Structure 1
Amino acid sequence: MKRIAFIGGNPNAQSFNSSTEAEFSRAGNNTGNYAFWNAVDRQILGSKEYFEGWGFSPEYLRDFFDVVVLPSSNFIHPDRDMGVLANKLEKTGLPVISIGLGAQAPKENENVVFKPGTIRFAKVLSELSEKIVVRGEHTASVLDSFGVRNVEVLGCPSNFTNLNPKLGVENEVKMQNLLDFDDSEFSVLVNIDAHRRKFSSSYRKFFEMFKKGSFEIVCQNPIELVSMARGDVWPGDNSHILHQASLWCPGEDLSVLRKFVKKHFVTFFNAAAWMEYARKFDISVGTRLHGNMLAFQAGVPSSFVSHDSRTSELVSVMKLPTCSWESLEMESIRDVVSMTNFDGGLYDVNRKFLAKKYVDVLNSYGVTVCGDLLDFAGNG
């Protein structure tokens, strides 16, 4: 097996006895990163060392490893400069397996300007990679504009977490059964960008829907919410906290918000624990793709609300269940269920097709692919 430098947090690390600040930093300031770190860690076998952040020594990687595995997020972002990572990867001289790379824009096909360091990062990846595994056609188009064309559009590796070949069909049946529920009967796992102020009015209306039954809100960031969800004490004069108070408990003092968060917010620094917890809910709904994906992979019917290029291209490539942003304006969770577009059979067939292409990419690097994924893709 190859010696692997894994650029990302160790998805098997324990967090219960560590501070929120340390764990949030380890999570790359977004706990949703554990969804794809966990997937890639299980899919590619070898002798691994985990490098949290970009503080690694290129010389150390060059001398002690055979390949760099880079589980990627929306690195191609107009507000990011990826030049530092580009320089470090180039200095290693090692092949890089970049998986799940995404380009960020408010809408697909919307022209945005990227920083020179980010464009250079894409070109360095191209030079060091057999193929760059990207999230969707939008990302492929952006990279093409940089002159980078050795890409494979495969969505997110978290799509191959639960390799039940009938996962889509089974989740579709469960979703259809929810049409017999009324709103007071639903147990909803809510995955939303609760800190994003531009969504506040829609979230308030959404809240009116899911509060009729039981619900919990998965908190991925910012640190203020993650801290309160873990039971930490946080000062109340922070802008994030004040925004949450106006969103969930308008007109109330901060003590009401703290009780609300303690009762309804939950956070995770481990994908397996996240999935296990998600199993008890009837449905997962929201704008957070990785939160919904982990629930979906746990066998929970989910509705992915697309609102930007990042989520839209992933939902499209993987054939995930989706409802429009306007669904947040509906009056009931049952309405969301009825308006969610999903073909479970198509999802299952498409996922097997994507898995075959994914395994072909991994095999081109000579790494050891886990047996379950090989079998699922038909390569076992």
Structure 2
Amino acid sequence: MLDEMTMDKPISPPAPAPKAPAKPLRVAILWKYPSLGLYSNAAFEDLYNGIGHNNGNLAFVYAIASHISNPVKFFSWSASAESLKENADIIVIPCANQLGRHTDYGTMADNLEKSGLPIVAIGLGAQADSYDQDIQLTDGTRRWAEVIARSNPSSAGSNIYTRGAFTTSQLDKLGIHGSVAGGCPSYFTNPNPGLGQKIHKQWSNLPLPRSISVAAGHQAWLKTRDIEHQLIGLMMDPMYPGQYVVQSMGEMIQISREIFDEIDPHALKEIHNHTVPHYSFEEFKGWCRNYVRSFYDVPAWMDTLRRHDLTIGSRYHGVALALQAERMGLTVTIDSRTQELCENTGVPHVAAADLTAPLTRSSLKKMIRFDPDAYDRHRSAAAARYLDFLNANRLQPAPFLSRIAAGT
């Protein structure tokens, strides 16, 4: 009887031990300074190098670092291939408008290729005067893009997330196909869904914008100088004073830190002419102390933007951060780079060439057309594509990205 029972109900073999979950990949983010620390008394050159020569870079670097849950270490662009191989399994490059004749990344291409690691480029942009022109690249930057593409760790898609369709089309012309036309990752700095509704609520409750923050341009941009003068005039309201936020280049940032003696005299004169030419030089310096600001961490930057009803100007990231801080923004586009960024992240924008009428609070209020439902739908769909991109490239997304994608 016992034998029969044994034969009828054979003993099952032991179940295999469950596989241990795969360890997340160690990520090397190519950005030297994750934080500038207590920067109030830092030397200007240290600050200037720390922001990559443009305060706007902080916006997308901060965003990307918040999007990835993997173990992360930060490395400079010049980190050796040996150091990268020793400390990381995959490289993430926070990108800007690197695809243009203004760059030459041949040395970096050699180093990345030598590392042998997979590479993910996030936010890559092309820079041309307009969509009607193709970009021009140095041989070094072309090879840099090719090295990144060849390292693709994704079996399901591309390892290049671009700022939009124009950049993707330019990569296609280089023979680099399949990149994801996504936008700027700073689109997802605010971790909450329903951002468009919050922006709309604050904006629609205002008959007219009061305090204005200007995302300042550059003194060499003569085609926007008349616009800049008008924006400064609106910003300098005695009851609702605004601010003039500079991002680039070095001389513009120096005036925000009262470093006048180290600026080339010709450049300083041009900045004076670009801002308040009706002031004496001493009055101009006083104006800088009162109104000109630069920021070295994103939370502080966004916090000050919340104090202003409208941020407007030719610097995309300066405007985009205002929307992430739940305030209205309007970018004055000057080239394909800023236009593409705005189109792919729902940032209201107007071409500089179209701003021919006098700018007033009333005209700006009428000019801005913002559909909160469309904005939130677009942001949700963009977050879903971004999630797919990160997962395909074996990067673990932060949980809040799923909430934005789901819209809840």
The 3-state SS of whatever aligns with 1:203 is helix
2:41 to 12, 17, 21: 17
**What aligned pairs does 1:230-309 form with structure 2 within 5 A after superposition?**
230-235=257-262, 237-309=264-336
SS of the aligned residue for 1:294 comes to helix
1:119 shift after superposition:
1.6
Q: CA deviation at 1:55?
A: 1.6
Q: Give the distance between the partners of 1:378 and 1:160, measured in 2 at CA.
A: 13
Inter-partner Cα distance in structure 1 for 2:113 and 2:64:
22
Shift of 1:81: 1.5
Cα distance change on mapping 1:56 and 1:68 into 2, 3 Å: same
Structure 2: how far apart are the matches of 1:163 and 1:121? 32
Output the CA distance in 1 between the equivalents of 2:61 and 2:310.
24
What is the letter of the counterpart of residue 208 of structure 1?
Answer: G
Separation of aligned partners in 1, 2:263 and 2:388: 51
Moved more, 79-88 or 148-157: 79-88
Q: SS of the residue aligned with 1:349?
A: helix
Determine if the alignment matches structure 1 residue 226 to structure 2 residue 226.
no
**Corresponding residue of 2:12:** none
Mapping for residues 101-250 of structure 1, pairs under 5 Å: 101-129=124-152, 130=154, 131=158, 132-178=160-206, 180-181=207-208, 186-198=210-222, 199-212=224-237, 214-235=241-262, 237-250=264-277
Q: Secondary structure at the match of 1:100?
A: strand
Identity %: 29
Whether the aligned pair in 2 keeps the contact of 1:32 and 1:291 (CA below 8 Å) is yes
Q: Partner letter of residue 176 of structure 2?
A: V
Q: Distance in 2 between matches of 1:206 and 1:329?
A: 13
* Cα deviation 1:233-265 (Å, max 9, x = unaligned): 534652221111112232543222211111011
**Shift in Å, 1:112:** 3.8
> Paired residues, what number?
375
Contact 1:71/1:99 (<8 A) preserved: yes
Distance 1:18 1:249, change over 3 A: same
Q: In 2, distance between residues paired with 1:248 and 1:315? A: 25
Structure 2: how far apart are the matches of 1:204 and 1:13?
Answer: 32
Taking a change above 3 Å as real, the CA distance of residues 75 and 337 of structure 1, as seen in their structure-2 partners, is: same
Would the alpha carbon gap of residues 3 and 236 (structure 1) be closer, same or farther in structure 2, given more than 3 Å must change? closer
**2:81 matched residue in structure 1:** 58
Note the 1:303-342 alignment, pairs <5 A.
Answer: 303-325=330-352, 326-327=354-355, 329-342=357-370
Distance 1:80 1:319, change over 3 A: same
The one-letter code matched in structure 2 to 1:287 is: S
Following the alignment from structure 1 to structure 2, what is the Cα–Cα distance between the partners of residues 286 and 375? 31
Q: In 2, are the aligned partners of 1:284 and 1:302 still within 8 Å (CA)?
A: yes
Runs of 5+ consecutive residues of structure 2 not aligned to the other structure: 1-23
Q: Which secondary structure state, in structure 2, belongs to the residue aligned with residue 189 of structure 1?
A: strand
TM-score computed with the length of structure 2 as normaliser: 0.87
Cα deviations across residues 287-338 of structure 1 (Å, max 9, x unaligned)?
1110111111011111122221111111112222223322364330221121
Between 319-328 and 26-35, the greater mean CA deviation after superposition: 319-328
| Aligned match for 1:83, one of 101, 106, 113 | 106
State the Cα distance separating 1:171 from its structure 2 match.
Answer: 1.2
> Which protein shows a greater Rg?
2
Worse-matched range after superposition: 278-287 or 311-320: 311-320
Moved more, 80-89 or 232-241: 232-241
CA RMSD of aligned residues (A): 2.0
Evaluate the alpha carbon distance shift between residue 275 and residue 69 of structure 1 in structure 2; reply closer, same or farther with a 3 A threshold.
same
Counterparts of 2:33 and 2:25 in 1: how far apart (Å)? 18
Contact 2:92–2:121 (Cα < 8 Å) also in 1: yes
* Counterpart-to-counterpart distance in 2, 1:347 and 1:111: 29
Alpha-carbon distance in structure 2 between the residues aligned to 1:206 and 1:328: 13
The answer on 1:49 being equivalent to 2:73 is yes
Distance in 2 between the 1:331 and 1:305 partners? 12
> Which amino acid letter does the alignment assign opposite residue 115 of structure 1?
T
Which residue of 2 is the match for residue 39 of structure 1? 63
- Is the alpha carbon distance of 1:142 and 1:114 closer, same or farther for their aligned partners in structure 2, counting shifts above 3 Å? same
What code does the residue aligned with 2:285 have? R
Relative to the length of structure 1, the TM-score reads 0.93
Post-superposition shift, 1:373?
Answer: 1.5
**Matches of 2:173 and 2:196, distance apart in 1:** 34
